[in-house]
A and B are shown apart, each in its own frame.
Chain A
Amino acid sequence: MPQQELDKAVSGEYALGFEIDIEQDTVPPGLDENTIKFISAKKDEPKWMLELRLKAFEKWKKMTEPSWGHLEYEPIDYQSISYFSAPKQAPDSLDEVDPKILEAYKKLGIPLEEQKQLQGIAVDAVIDSVSVKTTYSEELEKHGVIFCSISDAIRDYPELVKKYMYSVVPVTDNFFAALNSAVFTDGTFVYIPKGVRCPMELSTYFRINALNTGQFERTIVIADEGSYVSYNEGCSAPTRDDNQLHAAVVELIALKDAEIKYSTIQNWYPGDENGKGGIYNFVTKRGICEENAKISWTQVETGSAITWKYPSCILKGDNSVGEFYSVAVTTLAQQADTGTKMIHIGKNTKSTIISKGISAMKGQNTYRGLVKMGAGAEGARNYSECDSLLIGDRCGAHTFPYLESKDSLGQVEHEATTSKISDEQLFYLRQRGINEEDAVSMIVHGFCKDVFKMLPMEYAVEAKALLNLTLEGSVG
């Protein structure tokens, strides 16, 4: 197929690039102790939290930005970013939520009004630095489930927060995690009590709206013994010429016999085809599994100019299970360096990695994954499969699998393939009367099938639609 036609087929319009016209409280750009004190005060935080933030800030100042990713971008000026921005009137109830915000979330497909709420899905809606609305909180309370913004959790459940925050991703884990620890603004807090199967899907929708701000959310999900929760996050941002930084931290704690299913549909603004604009997405996500526990990460990454993200599992308890299912799409001039770390510590721990990278136009897609078998990980097993699909010939796919094995009893299997959408496949479908765009979409969806089937149904539908939009412009 000629390059131009291919490009047209794969340079989908970014549909969520609108801006919400609301009055916002935004601090001037810059980062020092006063910025952190300001954030903490805005959040009405207890003193212990401020102290933790300030300590993190001291540590961050001594750290350097990592450069090992297969990524090229202009250096980030951390003093030119605004670290806090919030819609001016913080609402106490839905009646007080600015109608423009309700309208915006409706456009994103997430109605927040009581009567229109998504059936069976509780939503926490975050704009820039604050959570504007959490739905179904009361219903969840009946089951003892805590689902609230992290700011509320710090005030209302300090003991849980103190116990688990920084327990999986320590302050000094990496440069971006340290920065987040100092300046995080909002995010979601989830606690599922012992033996409770969370009665609905939990979901957070992150929206960057303000100009020149960073978004630094922090999410903690704790599944107490024998409990189960399925949590989903989505995100988007307006179309802008400047790059914006998103540096989130997510910590999952799956106690004995618990299971956490964590799904992400990442659709931050990707920038244009010349690499102008777009979100820099530097995210640290990690979970810890106690005995018999299971954590499953599923991600569909279609947005952002830069993605640097490795959702990982520490399989500490015996018989625990970690899974990572990923579809990462880079088109336009997007770059993604993403993968996972599976750290096997307990006996008979199992992990599965299925990674599908799709590159089109000038997109660069890197899988980077580590499988580590600890000395005591007797009978541990890993299976990894990393497949790359190239559309056109200006894009790239790269695979960096790392293996550390201290235990010869651990078993590791790795398979990797790289394929091009073949002209013969496209022609075959077209000979049956299927037009070119639909044919590309069909082949790409087929390629992603093993990952999409891991998503909760509503999100699988969204992910498919998003993939069409990202890769096909006019389809869908």
Chain B
Amino acid sequence: MSNMMEIKDLQAKIGDKKILNGLNLTLEKGKVHAIMGPNGAGKSTLSKAIVGHYDIEVLGGEILYRGENIVDKEPEERALDGIFLSFQHPVEVAGVNNAYFLRTAVNAKRRHEGKDELNAAEFLREMKKQVETLGMKPDMISRSLNEGFSGGEKKRNEILQMQMLQPDMIVLDEIDSGLDIDALRAVSEGINSMKDGERSFLVITHYSRILDYIKPDYIHVLKDGKIVHTGGPELVAQLEEEGYESLGEA
């Protein structure tokens, strides 16, 4: 089977508001899928539904991850099984050392996979390497998790976590928002380095800019809680010129 994830007729609400209205989407192994759409279309809701965010109530449909429906799974179970979300607004946690947090997460995943845990030295060696590659300041290792980080630093920290956790299904929610050109380039390089022909990416974005750096294989247009159009990379140019209105029901 060459599909990483199949979302079938997904219906979900936040509070009293129904946002996803029978969404269908197939994510292929080793491919980069981009989701574009106007504000309020349900882009972030989709990403939250995939990782089991507490705001979302799934009313119907399935999210099959490697063939298994994960709708009722706890967020940490989905994470341990290899689903990763890069948050649009990463939260700050005072007093929790960035390296300590990340080592706990990495070792939880290694335990789950039946591997030996990394000791502090092994872990730090790896983390330092990635921090350098991402162009992050070395003090990010020992600072409190996201506390006082700039917007760009927070996004780089998300990519750092992704690289250390080595997930299989990567959801990037507006990874490009608030990034200057240097940060955008570093973040994109980080993402591209993860492409290995096996991992799948779901890039959720409002702007096409990031897609110049992370070349998508498929573009899906999300409108009113449904995928209304699917096409190849050429769709980006069309959307840029004509806007979302031009694309009616697929």
Contacts and interface: CB of A to CB of B under 8 A. Distances in A.
15 contacts: A428-B93, A431-B51, A431-B85, A432-B79, A432-B101, A432-B105, A432-B108, A432-B165, A433-B76, A433-B109, A434-B104, A438-B108, A442-B96, A447-B95, A449-B95
Interface residues of A, number: 24
Contacts of A422: 91
A1 to B, nearest CB: 8
B76 A445 contact: no
Contact of B104 (A425, A428, A431, A442): A442
B91 A425 contact: yes
Given A442-B101, A446-B95, A433 B108 contact: yes
Contacts of A445: 95-96
A449 B102 CA distance: 18
A429 interface: yes
A446 B76 contact: no
A424 interface: yes
B90 A446 contact: no
Interface string B139-177: 000001100000000000000010001000000000000
Given A432-B105, A436-B76, A446-B94, A427 B54 contact: yes
B91 A433 contact: no
Interface in B42-83: 51, 53-54, 74-76, 79-80
A435 B112 CA distance: 12
A443 interface: yes
Nearest to A438: B104
B87 interface: yes
Contacts of A443: 93, 96
Given A434-B104, A438-B104, A442-B101, A427 B75 contact: yes
A427 B144 contact: no
Nearest to B75: A430
Contacts of A431: 51, 75-76, 79, 84-85, 87
Nearest to A444: B95
Contacts, number: 71
Interface of B: 51, 53-54, 74-76, 79-80, 84-85, 87, 90-91, 93-96, 101-102, 104-105, 108-109, 112, 144-145, 161, 165
Interface in A428-466: 428-436, 438, 442-443, 445-450
A188 to B, nearest CB: 33
B53 to A, nearest CB: 6
Contacts of A448: 95
A180 B120 CA distance: 49
B93 A425 contact: yes
A430 B108 CA distance: 11
A423 interface: yes
B109 to A, nearest CB: 5
Contact of A427 (B53, B94, B104, B112): B53
A209 B180 CA distance: 65
A1 B53 CA distance: 11
A423 B54 contact: yes
A428 B90 contact: yes
Nearest to A439: B76
A276 B113 CA distance: 45
B225 to A, nearest CB: 22
A449 B101 CA distance: 14
Contacts of B145: 446
A433 B105 contact: yes
Contacts of B74: 430
A423 B79 CA distance: 17
B93 A446 contact: yes
Nearest to A449: B95
Given A429-B101, A446-B144, A434 B108 contact: yes
A438 B93 CA distance: 14
B161 to A, nearest CB: 7
A424 B51 CA distance: 13
Nearest to A432: B105
From A433, A443, A445, A447, name the one whose CB has the most chain B CB atoms within 10 angstroms: A433
